[in-house]
Structure 1
Amino acid sequence: MIVSMSTVLLLGALLGLMLRNRALGAGGATIAALFGFCLASTGAAPTINDALQSLAESLGRIG
């Protein structure tokens, strides 16, 4: 768990820097995909899934 959290933090920081510098290419897409896979294996995944599902339901009610 400690290794996956540090990996998530490292990939998140790299992705944040790439977004800030607008340097997203193939490398940025790879980092974003790795960040997503690593984030999905942490304890934050259920909370993120619940938030996205709630957002989708709210948007469905609007439109």
Structure 2
Amino acid sequence: MPVLNMSGVLVLGVVVVLLSRKHGLKGSHATVCALFGFYLSSTAVAPGIKAGGASLAGLLGGLNF
């Protein structure tokens, strides 16, 4: 599971970089989003979000092109 988490972090990091360069996402906006994620991870909603992310990763991993 750590590989999945690390790849998710990398994908989201790339998205943040692309948004900041192409669409004007400011550093302060990215910081607020990161802090929101850290605080959200310590709430009761976190297990549901983690399960949803794992389900989506399983769905995407099962696709054959």
Scaled by the length of structure 1, what TM-score is found?
0.61
- Residues of 2 paired with 1:54 and 1:36: CA distance? 19
Structure 2: which 5+ residue stretches go unaligned?
1-22
Higher helix share: 1
Structure 1: which 5+ residue stretches go unaligned?
1-21
Identity among equivalent pairs (%): 45
- Runs of 4+ aligned residues of structure 1 deviating over 4 Å after TM superposition are none
Instruction: Specify which structure has the bigger relative contact order, considering alpha-carbon pairs within 8 angstroms and separated by 6 or more residues.
Output: 1
Equivalent residue pairs, number: 42
Matches within 5 A, 1:31-42: 31-42=32-43
